[in-house]
Every structure is written in C-alpha cells, then in structure tokens.
Amino acid sequence: MAKRDLLFWLGPLIFTVGFLLLAALLAPVFHWAVEPIDENPFRRYTDRALMVAAVLCLLPYLIRHWSGLGWWGQPPAGRALVLGVAVALSGTLLINFLLIGFGWRELIPDELWSALPKALMAAVLVSLIEEILFRGVMLKALSERAGRIAGFWLTAFLFAWVHFLKAPESFQPDPVTWTSGFTSVALALANLPTVDFLPGGRFFTLLLVGVLLGVAKLRTGGLWLPMGLHAGFILGIQWSSRATDLTPAGREAWLGADLLTGPWTWAALVVMILLTWRSPLPGQSPPPAAGSKA
C-alpha cells in the first residue's frame, strides 16, 4: 500500500487521537485562565477544550482546502442562512409554547431577555464550528472513504454521538494539575458506550437533527442552510431552557417535557427533512424525480 493511501485511511484516526490529546492539555489551561474570573465545573473547560482542539487540529486542512468545504450553493448564502435560522427557531419556539400550554413548562419572566445573549453567542460559535467540522470536513472525508450513503449516515451518527462526549459534573479535581485534563477526557470517552441508542431519547433526536443538516448540505451544496438551521436550533433550545422551567406535571410526563425528547420534536424534524429533500427552496428548482434524465 502506498504511503499516500495509508495516510488517506489513517487520517481520521490520527485526527481523533491528536485532538483528544490536545484537548486534555488545553482543559487545565482554560481552567487556570478563566477560573479567577468565572468559576465553572471542570467539565465546562473540558467541553471548550474539545471544541477548540478540534478546530486547531483541523487548521492545516482548513487553510489548504478552505474553498473546497462547500461554502457556496443555492440558495445564496444570506438567504440560506436566514431561512435556516427562521425555520429552526420558529419550530423550537412553537414546540416550547405547546409545552407551556400543556402545563409542562412555565415561563421565567426574569430570564426571558437576560438568557438571550448567551444563547446567541452559543448559536453563532457552535453552529459555525460544528458545521465546518461535520458537514464541511467529515461528510466529505467519510463519503470518500465509505461511499456517499454510508458517509452520510456515519456523519449523522457521529454528530449525535459526539454530543455525549462529556465528563461527569461530579469530576472536580482539587487542585487542578496537568493530568486533570487527561482524566476528564478519559471519563468523557467512557461515557460514550453508555449512550442509549434506542428511539425515545436524546440521541434519537440528535440523529434526526444530523440527518436534517446533512440533507440540507447535499440539497443546497453549501454550508449556509445547515449552519442557519443549526444556529436556530441552538438559539431556540438554549433560550427556552433558560427562560422556562419544568413544572411538577412536566417532571411526571413520560415523554415530551423538553425539546429533545418529545414526539412533536421528532415529527417536526421528520417534516423538515422531507420538505428540505423534496421541496424547491427559494432560488432553487425542485430536485428531479426518480428515474428522470438530467
């Protein structure tokens, strides 16, 4: 096997090992830098370190292949971004209003506007980073190695699974040392095999979101629609989670007391997937029917 072929197949593994090691080193640095100003659970620093490490390890590839990530498609960037944010945000807020109407959640008036800036910041940063990583890099890389269909589903699966790469809140090293990050990352990795993959939990919802974002990328050819959808979901979910709270009735509800485990959320995502795949988007022609000639 040629050296180039070996690197082609080992590239994803090398990236994974590299970003995990870098994250383990960065986590205590973030703690030492931020803790005097705003003390947080050590898991928060590990979460941020994992995200920053992924971007840093991708930098050589991004600099070299920036134009090949699929930035431009149809509809145009601005229209696709606004459309994605509007659809996802309105959907999450509508579901949250339904939960309030059912008496499962209640509004916290004091948090309604104070929660918005943090939610906006998370929506912008996370959607940008994760869409570059998953739909810009990973979808292309896995499709080249495993085929288009397998690459699509692997990307959606990994997108959902990686959201459970979290150390337990109970891990609070005292004092924090250079080895604390390695312990935290190891605990986060140990959490991955415990994820419940059956329909009904958060993984299932995140998998549907991953499918929707992948369809949006393939359907438009660009990153802006999936980025807008992703940002709208984060903004709606984080804003709602901070500005509302579970009621006693919501705590007793079997399903649907939050935006990540409700059957209406799944139904809304399935509808979005079907509409994104088959309906003409603004500035687009409808996709050709099966069996038709280009």
> Which region among 69-78, 110-119, 223-232, 239-248 has the lowest average model confidence (pLDDT)?
69-78
User: In the prediction, which pLDDT does 227 show?
Assistant: 96
Q: Which residues pair with 105 in a beta bridge?
A: 246
Write the CB contacts of 53 (distance below 8 Å, at least 6 apart in sequence): 19, 20, 22, 23, 26
208: pLDDT confidence band, cut at 50, 70 and 90? very high
Q: Which tokens is 16 given?
A: 């994974």
% of the chain with per-residue pLDDT over 70: 92
User: In the prediction, which pLDDT does 177 show?
Assistant: 93
Contact 92, 234 (CB under 8 A): no
Please report, as a single letter, which amino acid is at residue 201: G
Rounded mean pLDDT, 29-54:
88
Q: Which residues of 55-79 are buried (b: 16+ CB within 10 A; e: fewer)?
A: eebbeebbeeeeeebbeebbbebeb
- Averaged confidence pLDDT in the chain: 86
Strand segments (E) across the chain = 105-107, 244-246
Q: Which tokens is 129 given?
A: 């980073």
pLDDT of 137 > 80? The answer is: yes
pLDDT of 292 > 50? The answer is: no
pLDDT of 199 > 80? The answer is: no
* Burial status of residue 254 (CB atoms within 10 A of its CB: 0-12, 13-18, 19 or more): exposed
User: In the prediction, which pLDDT does 244 show?
Assistant: 85
For the chain, the first-to-last Cα distance in angstroms comes to 38
pLDDT tens per residue, range 93-120: 898 888 888 888 888 887 778 878 888 9
What is the Cα–Cα distance from 152 to 146, expressed in whole angstroms? Answer: 9
pLDDT tens per residue, range 150-185: 999 999 999 999 999 998 888 999 899 999 999 999
pTM equals 0.86
Rounded mean pLDDT, 39-58:
90
78: pLDDT confidence band, cut at 50, 70 and 90? confident
User: In the prediction, which pLDDT does 234 show?
Assistant: 94
Rounded mean pLDDT, 111-136:
89
Cα 40 to its chain centre, rounded Å, is: 22
pLDDT tens per residue, range 211-238: 999 999 999 888 999 999 999 999 999 8
Write the CB contacts of 119 (distance below 8 Å, at least 6 apart in sequence): 234, 235, 238, 239, 242
293: pLDDT confidence band, cut at 50, 70 and 90? very low
User: In the prediction, which pLDDT does 284 show?
Assistant: 54
278: pLDDT confidence band, cut at 50, 70 and 90? confident
77: pLDDT confidence band, cut at 50, 70 and 90? confident
pLDDT of 20 > 80? The answer is: yes
